[in-house]
Amino acid sequence: MKIPASAFPKVPYYLGLYPVVDSLEWVRRLLQVGVKTLQLRIKDLPDAEVEPAIIEAIRLGREADARLFINDYWRLAVKHRAYGIHLGQEDLDDTDLLAIHDAGLRLGVSTHDESELARAVSVRPSYIALGHVFPTQTKQMPSSPQGLQELAHHVHQLGGRFPTVAIGGISLDRVQSVMDCGVGSVAVVSAITQASDWQAATRQLLALCPYRDDPHAQ
């Protein structure tokens, strides 16, 4: 893993509600209701198959002045100049971080424990994701949920050096307790995509997890 000589571009600490979705349809819907931070997470398809969706998602994100992160497909994200990329720890092994950095894209990195936190910090990413906080049905996780106490501990350890995003099993009724741990953002999948009324759920989540402009962020 080659680490760039300077940090990745800054993003606001309080990125606000951060939905993670697997289709263009969801990207469109969420931008329409005022979501400003989101991720397109399409798993395990050949680049050629996802490229049209990635191009359109980036275009929609730009048009709405939103912060759209692309999960996994870093080459396509660089090629089409996405706002940012989200990578897991395993992704870090075979990703050209210098290419992402030199192209000026923001980078978010997943972490699950202290050693992953140290590795993420060494990369100086735009934000650090902490999870999974609670049990989740959305993704098979090899580790146990970290819970609120561990989450608060990790946020404290980072000491405000990096914006933080909590993820994993965060339902509407758990958002406030997660925000109370000092995280800047809450990433959710099922709290929106499985909600009986996704628009109402998104509105409530946006209110509980507000974006705050940070003059030092790009």
Ligand X SMILES: Cc1ncsc1CCOP(=O)(O)O
Please say if 119 is a catalytic residue: no
Query: Is residue 205 a contact residue for ligand X (CB under 6 A)?
Result: no
Query: Is residue 37 a contact residue for ligand LCLJCK34 (CB under 6 A)?
Result: no
Question: Which of 27, 70, 129, 186 touches ligand LCLJCK34 by CB under 6 A?
Answer: 129
Residue with tokens 């590795």: 119
Q: Give long-range contacts, CB 8 A cutoff, 24+ apart: 58-66.
A: 58/82, 58/83, 60/24, 60/27, 60/28, 60/31, 61/27, 61/31, 64/31, 64/36, 65/36, 66/31, 66/35, 66/36, 66/37, 66/38
Which one of 29, 67, 106, 110 is the catalytic residue? 110
Query: Is residue 72 a contact residue for Mg ion (CB under 5 A)?
Result: yes
Round to whole Å and give the CA distance between 128 and 130. 7
Please say if 29 is a catalytic residue: no
From residue 134 to residue 153, the character string flagging contacts with ligand X as x (rule: CB under 6 A) and all else as - is --x-xx--------------
CB of 107 to Mg ion, least distance (A): 12
Which one of 139, 143, 144, 212 is the catalytic residue? 139
> Known binding site: residues?
39-43, 71-72, 91, 110, 136-139, 169, 189-190
